[in-house]
Chain A
Amino acid sequence: MAHDTPEKIRSHAEHEFLKKKRSAEMRQQLTSFAIMIFLTLIAFTMVAAGFSTYLIVPIILLLAAIQVVLQLYHFMHLSNKGHGTIAFFMFSGMFVAFITVLALVTIVWW
């Protein structure tokens, strides 16, 4: 198999720079995690507090969507370089998913 990557040994300065870059990225991911926990808490609290269904449903669906975007873009690195094709796969999948849910939910409307 093709494992023919040319080996490149980084200079000390470049190595230190990359390490710093990675720990900065890790801090950013910790922030996303804190936001996800916070959004989950809001969703559960709203339901436990017993607000009107018509208020809760759109808000918790929106919170779920935000959480998923954070997972995809920060934890799964969808925003990184070289992720264009796979982002296209994922968005096509989500589009089909949306149509499927819409169709089966409306078919039992009456």
Chain B
Amino acid sequence: MDINKRYTAQSWPDHPETATLEGKNKFVGFWLLLAAETVTFASLFATYLALKDKGPSGMEFTAAGLFELPLVFAMTMILLTSSLTSVYAMYHMKNHNFKAMQAWLGITVLLGLTFLGLEIYEFNHYVHLGFGFTHSAFSSAFYVLVGTHGAHVLFGLSWFIALMIRNSKRGLNMYNAPKFYLAALYWHFIDVVWVFIFTVVYLMGVIG
């Protein structure tokens, strides 16, 4: 069977992401990656918790004095909403509605870019206050943890944009359905990590 074979909504498989052997392999491999990423982020969280508010003596910055909740609240709502819009994209993917899927992915990308912009603004603000990467053990641990998450957001956005552009003329088929599905899974995983970042870093940071 040709990978570029065209489907209709009525011949489109119920689970296109795992309908081919390649799709099944990608699916298992990708979840293995997500499990490994869980451990990666755990080591960064553990480092952050061990080094929170620690640094050279006389350090002027603490989590309670530095973080501000309104910005974090806005970032949280934006990322959470972008997780829902990618669910809508996958809903249309399963109904073989390519245009609607591309539109929802576009909204997801816009929300992701807004999130990334706010994060860059936040980091820039801290650096201008004097809280740079090399300021203390606390600042290094903070930037590595939140920055690694930000790098994942950037990678997820590039992935979505690349898929949307490369497949814009192809439409949905067995070749790209698993790709779209995995990119959406990755995006949900980024949101899972952020749930712990806003809880452990920001909320628990503000209360000291």
Contact = CB atoms under 8 A, between A and B. Distances in A.
Nearest to A80: B15
Given A4-B1, A68-B195, A100-B42, A26 B91 contact: yes
Interface residues of B, number: 62
Contact of B196 (A1, A5, A68, A82): A68
Contact of B46 (A9, A10, A103): A103
Task: Classify the interface of chain B: helix, strand, loop or mixed.
Answer: helix
Given A1-B3, A3-B3, A3-B20, A104 B46 contact: yes
B3 A101 contact: no
B43 interface: yes
Interface in A65-93: 67-68, 71-72, 75-76, 82, 85-86, 89-90, 92-93
A94 B38 contact: yes
A90 to B, nearest CB: 5
B174 to A, nearest CB: 5
A107 B80 contact: no
Contacts of A100: 39, 42-43, 46
A90 B38 contact: yes
Contacts of A23: 91
A43 B203 contact: yes
Contacts of A22: 91, 94-95
Nearest to A61: B199
A90 B31 contact: yes
B50 A104 contact: yes
Contact of B80 (A1, A7, A37, A92): A37
Interface of A: 1-5, 7-10, 12, 15, 18-19, 22-23, 25-26, 29-30, 33, 36-37, 40, 43-44, 47-48, 53, 56-57, 60-61, 63-64, 67-68, 71-72, 75-76, 82, 85-86, 89-90, 92-94, 96-98, 100-101, 103-105, 107-108
5 contacts: A5-B19, A33-B83, A43-B198, A43-B199, A71-B192
Interface of B: 1-3, 5, 8-11, 13-14, 18-22, 27-28, 31-32, 34-39, 41-43, 45-47, 49-50, 69, 73, 76-77, 80, 83-84, 87-88, 91, 94-95, 174-175, 185, 188-189, 191-192, 195-196, 198-200, 203-204, 206-208
